[in-house]
């Protein structure tokens, strides 16, 4: 039987398979190494990086909810310089594609991080625009087309690396924001980031998270993510990477049918660390069962009514 081609090119970078570890869920590729090599993934998006070290939000920072989890980790990370010195060498040696996820509160912070990474072996920079814009009252950069376009334009000018812009779902029109990122030089968009949510303990009458509200991820957000990926894929010419609640090979295929060239997974690994192996193998089986030789036979092949 002819082997199936699971490779895919996103933002000009070749991935051996379309499954990527989502930022914040796989650390820097070392956390699961005792179970299987990080080279299992097509690529890994590292823990979100800021200009300086961040301790993150006060605990409790993670809470289970029906169909997912709420988190308010708050971008805990060692800072970009420590990443470059200590973690990037391991990732370049053991991972297929290295995606550096970056965050900032000001345009200047985003630019400085991008400039530092531009001189490294990072393959793609993923721009997290769900962070608060401190000069605009704390609203996230990505909640408006103007904000998304401004930060994308700035980072585009600071680096020649392929640029992936990670979109927040907490907006009125995600397609408009994707188009703004595309217009200012993004090579790719990834979506969705977590959905803003909150739970309250009825016994203590306190929120379950120390930061009161947090980001909802997991299976509960999957239909929202599929809808948004479908909308964005029809609205831009650049590549789309889908994420948000993918828990199985069928979910991954569904996301690709909606228009995603690759997918990112995260929350599912907390309950089943071997989920990546199952998802990659399941995609290949789907291709075999349906006579599909490469992923072009899946991506964007949804048949709307």
Per-residue pLDDT tens, the chain, 305 aa: give them: 678 999 999 999 999 999 999 999 999 999 899 999 999 999 999 999 999 999 999 999 999 999 999 999 999 999 999 999 999 999 999 999 999 999 999 999 999 999 999 999 999 999 999 876 556 666 688 999 999 999 999 999 999 999 999 999 999 999 999 999 999 999 999 999 999 999 999 999 999 999 999 999 999 999 999 999 999 999 999 999 999 999 999 999 999 999 999 999 999 999 999 999 999 999 999 999 999 999 999 999 999 99
The residues pairing with 195 across neighbouring beta strands, listed in sequence order, are 216
pLDDT of amino acid 23:
96
pLDDT of amino acid 130:
84
C-alpha span between 261 and 294 (Å, rounded): 12
The residues pairing with 21 across neighbouring beta strands, listed in sequence order, are 44, 265
pLDDT of amino acid 135:
65
Q: Rounded to an integer, what is the distance from CA 2 to the centroid of its chain? A: 32
Distances (CA, A) of 153 to 108, 169, 181, 189, 193: 12, 21, 8, 14, 20
pLDDT of amino acid 120:
98
Residue 131 annotated as catalytic:
yes
C-alpha span between 40 and 254 (Å, rounded): 21
Cis peptide before 60 (omega within 30 of 0): yes
pLDDT of amino acid 31:
85
Q: Rounded to an integer, what is the distance from CA 63 to the centroid of its chain? A: 20
Kindly give, in sequence order, each residue whose CB lies less than 8 Å from that of residue 178, ignoring residues fewer than 6 positions away: 165, 167, 189, 191, 232, 235, 236
Q: What is the tens place of the pLDDT at every residue in 139-192?
A: 688 999 999 999 999 999 999 999 999 999 999 999 999 999 999 999 999 999
Crossing angle of helices 174-183 and 145-158, rounded to 10°: 30
User: Pairing state of beta strands 43-45 and 98-102?
Assistant: parallel
In CATH terms, is domain 8-56+75-196+217-297 a member of 3.20.20.150? no
Angle ∠(300,164,25) on CA atoms, nearest 5 = 90
Backbone angles phi, psi at 195, to 5 degrees: -95, 130
List the structure tokens of 46.
Answer: 């590292």
């Amino acid at each position: 039987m002819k082997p199936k081609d699971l490779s895919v090119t996103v933002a000009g970078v070749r991935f051996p398979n379309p499954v990527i570890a989502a930022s914040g869920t796989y650390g820097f590729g070392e956390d699961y190494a005792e179970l299987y090599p990080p080279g299992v993934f097509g690529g890994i998006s590292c823990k979100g990086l800021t200009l300086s070290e961040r301790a993150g939000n006060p605990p409790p920072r993670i809470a289970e909810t029906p169909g997912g989890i709420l988190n308010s980790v708050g971008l805990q990370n060692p800072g970009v310089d420590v990443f470059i010195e200590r973690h990037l060498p391991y990732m370049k040696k053991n991972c297929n594609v290295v995606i550096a996820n970056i965050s900032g509160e000001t345009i200047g912070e985003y630019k400085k991080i991008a400039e530092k990474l531009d001189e490294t072996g990072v393959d793609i920079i993923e721009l997290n625009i769900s962070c608060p814009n401190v000069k605009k009252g704390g609203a996230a950069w990505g909640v408006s087309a103007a904000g998304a376009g401004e930060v994308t334009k700035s980072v585009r000018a600071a680096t020649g690396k392929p640029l992936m812009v990670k979109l927040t779902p907490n907006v009125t029109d995600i397609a408009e924001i994707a188009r703004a990122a595309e217009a200012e030089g993004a090579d790719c968009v990834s979506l969705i980031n977590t959905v803003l949510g909150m739970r309250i303990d009825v016994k203590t009458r306190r929120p379950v998270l120390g930061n009161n509200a947090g980001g909802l991820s997991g299976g509960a957000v999957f239909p929202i993510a599929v809808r948004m990926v479908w909308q964005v894929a029809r609205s831009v010419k650049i590549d789309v990477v889908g994420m948000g609640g993918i828990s199985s090979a069928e979910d991954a295929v569904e996301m690709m049918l909606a228009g995603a060239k690759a997918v990112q997974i995260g929350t599912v690994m907390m309950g089943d660390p071997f989920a990546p192996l199952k998802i990659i193998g399941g995609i290949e089986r789907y291709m075999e069962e349906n006579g599909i030789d490469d992923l072009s036979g899946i991506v964007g092949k949804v048949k709307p009514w």
